[in-house]
Chain A
Amino acid sequence: MYGAGGRAVEVGRQAVVGARTGLGLGVRRTAVNMGPSLTARSASSLSLSTLSLLSLPASSCLLRVSLAESSLSSKGIVKEKGKVRGMASVTGAANEGEKKPTRPIYLDAQATTPLDPRVLDAMLPLMTWEYGNPHSRTHQYGWETEAKVEEAREHIATLIGASDSKEIIFTSGATESNNTAIKGVARFYGGSDSTKPRPHVITTQTEHKCVLDSCRVLQAEGAADVTYLPVGTNGLVDLAQLDATLAANPHTVLVSIMAVNNEIGVVQPLAAIGALCRKYKVFFHTDAAQAVGKIAIDVNAMHIDLLSVSGHKLYGPRGVGALFVRRRPRVRLEPLINGGGQERGLRSGTVPAGLVVGFGEAARVAKAEMAYDHARISQLSARLVGGITARLSHVIRNGDPVQTYPGCVNLSFAYVEGESLLMALKDIALSSGSACTSASLEPSYVLRAIGADDETAHSSIRFGIGRFTTVDEIDFVIDRVVDRVTRLREMSPLWEMVQEGIDLKSIEWSQH
């Protein structure tokens, strides 16, 4: 009795959804769930109420829904109890005997990382009773929040080796930091003064989309010339080529090269690049979203002038980031966002104190845990790569195997299509590259830039290992990947040809 009544309420709710969206969806879904004998009756009574709901104001909606419910229950839904059950099992809805739904394990630490419990613990007071505006100077609410924000700033400065916490500017994330740094410097040093030569910016082809796009905007505006340096097959920038480019372009104002690549995990030689930039008196910006908190970064030792950090890549909250802007020698830039002059006037707008405090705590924890996390992630990474390559042939590791961050493993499984492998691995949260490129079927531009052919680029998968990944999870992933790749290869005619010793490159495919 109770169960059937519950079902009737649900039918009523679905009708409301259908009515609100203006589609007959709710009714159609009901028909599927309730079985054929019920369809005609419920559909007619519901479509009536659906139609009238559309033209009625919100207040009378409630009344109508309750009418629909009561009319359904009075029309003998109770009798249909057995049918409802039966249909549910056919349509695959949860039944008593079935397994409970499970969540996939998370192995996409380059996209984002879970919030560390210590971070949430630091944030909660600001999300509940410490809600003062950190810029309020006239009362305790403001003072206490400001003190916490400054403490967070100190933690982030310590983590990247900045000598003064005033060099840290809070932003909404690494994308905003990168935009501010690149556009800000180029616009300040070029500006509207037409007598000055047009500034020049150097970056690489494997940068994150937000760096490449900021550069494109500068080019489109005519605000700067940009050189996109190629990278080697290992993903690393060629220092001799950078040197030559700097020498050939005396108007260069900025070099922007990322610290750790988000797709293949290679670590660029930051200290060497920094030294080169110092030699030519050019500012060095690095997008360190994937590096800070994971590998040791020292802005002074590496001669970094601008550095972008993201909160949610180091177990902090999403929606906050920071930009390090060197004060000595001073880097000047034009702000993207103007207003109240917060954050040294470089980023106006109220600082989101709760997020910033979480970010600061994440930085403190990252500093304290760096050695431990790095050792453990290296161990898990070696286990993953070793476990897969021991049981599968034709697996290619993309990017330099030594100069790399072990938490990012990018593997190509030859003769298997990456997207279908991802579908077959639905119990593991993985991606084929960065979140922005995995939506399109285009092969990753990063893999293209390191000289991977189309087949390799299409068959790549990125494994992101994090602080909370367990040995059991890695073993599960190894088993699943080996099993699914083997099965997909067995279905592949290309794989069969390879086993027979035919060189695929020698085949001339007929054109259709």
Chain B
Amino acid sequence: MENLGALALLLAFCFAIYAVLGSLVGRWKKKPFLTVSAERAVFVVWGLVAIASSILVYALMAGDFRLAYVAAHSNKSMPFYYKFASWWGGQEGSLLFWTFLLSTYSVIVVWSSRKTFRDMMPWIIAVLMTTAAFFLLLITVPMSPFNVLTLNKGIQDMGDGQGLNPLLQYWTMVIHPPMLYLGYVGFTVPFAFAIASLITKQPGDKWIMQTRRWTLVTWLFQSTGVLLGAGWAYAVLGWGGYWGWDPVENASLLPWITATAFLHSVMMQEKKGMMKVWNMVLISATFFLCIFGTTLTRTGIVSSVHAFAQSNIGKYLVTFLAIGIAGVVYLILDRLEYLKSETHLESVVSRESSFLFNNLILLASCFAILWGTLFPVISEAVTGDKISVDRPFFERVNIPIGLFLLFLTGVGPLVAWRRSSLDSLRRAFLWPTVSGLAVIGILMGFGVRHFYALVSFGLCMFVTWTVISEFYKGSRSISQRMNKNLAAAAFELTWRNTRRYGGYIVHMGIVLMFIGFTGSAFNQDATLEVDTGTVSHIGHYELRIADLQQGENDNYAWHKAVIQVSKDGSPIGTLEPERRLYKASKQPTSEVSIRRRINEDLYLNFAGMSNDNSKAVIQAFVFPLVSCIWMGYWVLFFGTLVCMVPPKVKLAYARTEVVGVARKNVPVEN
């Protein structure tokens, strides 16, 4: 079976190369049969990668411990869903999973767009299949998942495996990597469209709309992946945090930030025909940051708890990055004329300018994170000294940047396209500003003195006011004209311009997340050494240890504390934090117990037993407002879905600035 799997990957690599050459030669020599044949090769690549993936999954499920990958990442006692998750639990399998997703995306693109984007399709295929061929090369030569264990030239069956890392044996870990990979890999598609449009000098904005839709979908996957990772860290690692500024976490955030910037600035291209070069740079940067993230995760350039084992694929990834970036830079420089703006910015005080500032701040945040992540490596190379760049740096830089971004989130809707007068600005900003200042005043009245927390809550109110007033003004107008109630009018309003109002809903999700992040300024924690019957306190909670239990099953042994919780004297329930020791890996993990509420979480971690093994050590945390982060995600999810719904009214964006200029390349949209 392993030979069949390896052969399938080798053949897939050959077909991917054929697809690249076939599409390019077909286009160059004007031989349609070659182009069509290249399209079919994409389907063959998918089929072969699917066969290889099925063989690996079967080996994981059946426990074929002759395979090095299966022996290292699976064992007999694991439930079937974790065996399945082992597919992406290790280096080789995750690269195969990546390739499988990329080939699946490629099939969808070819199937859905081959008629609409006839001219661009050979180039789209060339970009997609070059990337696929590169990953197939990795899993065919240096990182094959089908290597067998050998001893004295004979194949060795280990009998059982080491199992999946216990920290990864958690339900969100079954879906977190696929979501993140769907995001990472998905950004290849808009990048392929962008490059194809650049090469073929596509007129019009059709491809931009297609690219935006793909970016939105993959952005949602990436957001989901990042948030699931944060949720996993919060609920599994036992330290109560959801973000550790680990290089691998940062790597997942970087393409998300550039994609967010792209989703904003692409509106300028659609509506005003501006920022074409910038959009090309953003979508390319997003793709290359995905590859860079992969390089960071898999080569050990920087130390990270999340990273896969160090390997020798770094040189392959760096070469791919270098060639890719050089190629894109050349293409952009070569086609600057094609990327020229069709209209001009009229005023600094305009919606267009707010997008420029939004992009600047997003990119500054991206740069700060990238800089902080790589600086230890750069500094060591320059000075020879090892240094640490930890949480204080990231927070010192990113908190003010994040707050400014939050401010711009509120400013955007208040400023008109083209230009805003001072009077209209005064009217637009008055109530949002008053409401934000009122929140700050009230919080100060309650004794809050944390500067950033006050600013953050004030800005959250500012943005909330602008978003709600946007909905209210539009809904009231529809309600009056169509004689509908306000809720129905709000629904009608959103449906008419799903993109705009879906975007506002996404902004509300971001506001909720900021409320959650700000809550961390008021965290409380205590470490308690307790025995049965002990009563301890944290915040307004009383914790009574009702029982300490222990036991085992096939996979792990466990200690558990049964803790009765009271709040202000009234019993509110029982929490049961647990500590496990996985038998195969001899690795301990925490199963924290959390009482989740909107205002705060009570979070208990069974950290271990005391030195003399007589008492349990419990870490207790109170995390105010942390639930807002997860609620914010659901609002963001819903808002993104709304953005994807086709609007009831097809909007036309007349580029009024060009009236009278009558340039050839400026079509009037209908």
**Chains A and B come from one and the same complex:** no
Chain A residues within CB distance 8 Å of chain B: none
